[in-house]
Structure 1
Amino acid sequence: MQLTRRAIVAATLLSFGAGLSFGAGAAAARPMKPAEEFFTLPYDGVMPGCDDWFTLQEIAGRLGESEAFFFSSPLRITEFSAIRQTGFRTNGADFIPRRYCTARARFNDERERVLKYNIIERGGLAGFGRGVEWCVVGLDHYHAYAPDCEAAGP
């Protein structure tokens, strides 16, 4: 009797699951669809480059504010150089587009530090606009992107 119940439950679950399209096998079989096609709002498909002035100014401003507010530090970025892209959509087409970048940042203490950042399409507040995540090697006070800001890269 116990075996019969198990067999009925197993057969029911298998027949129910056969009509659904989830699981590892079904996910691998579906066609890849770029994440932009999931958005309901218009999308022009253009992401800013690593050398985008607005992105760099946002990083400089937010870093200066956080250093002053949380650490009572006067550190500010004064200049960017050696800006280059290290990856684009490295997570695959199914994920929200991300551009990974690195640069040298000169600070007001006359030191140069490595800046790693990524630009996220539709990563702004409530999915509007782009978002930016960044980390300065040696200034990751809470080790959010440890080790040495590697988690901010591709």
Structure 2
Amino acid sequence: MKRIVILAAALAAAVLGVGAASAADYSPRGSVVTYRHDPAFERGYSGLLPGCDDPAVLKSVTSAFAHREKAYWNSGLELVEFRRPREVGYRSWGLSFVPRRFCVAHSFTNDGRKRLVSYNIAEQQGFASLSWGVEWCVSGLDRSLAYAPGCKMARP
């Protein structure tokens, strides 16, 4: 019975020419949005984030990487050392987005290979939105291709 109802609805939509819904922009043509001040600040964001070389940030990346390698990939691979962590962007997507600091660093894994680690520190993305959180990607080890190609999606 359920299949018949679904088929009837699909047939009616095809006959009546009903297509997919589309979003509409109701702002006047040519209008430009100007902000009095930082729109993210109105939502409670301060923009105060730890630096790329902050030990707590690097420890967060290291421990999350080790956990993921062990739990999902049954691997003992770990990040051993970070070299030259540097900022490559801060609020690169604009003032109305969640404040993020984009960073890259070279890291050595316990198999002796040097890898590029891309990570971003975002405000209110930690536990229960009470502090900052870190998203990261290790080049050559993004097995699920979440930040493909080559961890590019983890950078600005």
TM beyond 0.5: yes
Q: Which residues of structure 1 form unaligned runs of 5+?
A: 1-21
2:110 to 108, 111, 115: 108
* Counterpart amino acid of residue 88 in structure 2: T
* Counterpart amino acid of residue 42 in structure 2: E
TM-score (normalizing by structure 1):
0.77
* CA displacement, residues 62-112 of structure 1 (integer Å, 9 cap, x when unaligned): 100110111111100110002110000111111111000000011110111
Matched, 1:31 2:35: yes
2:42 and 2:31 map into 1 onto residues whose CA distance is 17
* Counterpart amino acid of residue 79 in structure 1: E
> Residues 68-79 of structure 1 correspond to what in structure 2 (within 5 A)?
68-79=70-81
TM-score (normalizing by structure 2):
0.76
For the 8 Å contact 1:100–1:118, the answer to whether it is kept is yes
Pairwise CA RMSD: 1.9
Aligned length: 130
- Tell me the equivalent position of 2:66: 64
1:24 and 1:123 map into 2 onto residues whose CA distance is 34
- Distance change >3 Å, CA 48–CA 139, structure 1 → 2: same
* Counterpart amino acid of residue 36 in structure 1: F
> Residues 97-136 of structure 1 correspond to what in structure 2 (within 5 A)?
97-136=99-138
Runs of at least 4 residues off by over 4 Å: 24-27
2:65 and 2:78 map into 1 onto residues whose CA distance is 7
Percent of residue pairs identical: 39
What is the SS of the residue equivalent to 2:32?
Answer: helix
- Tell me the equivalent position of 1:149: 151
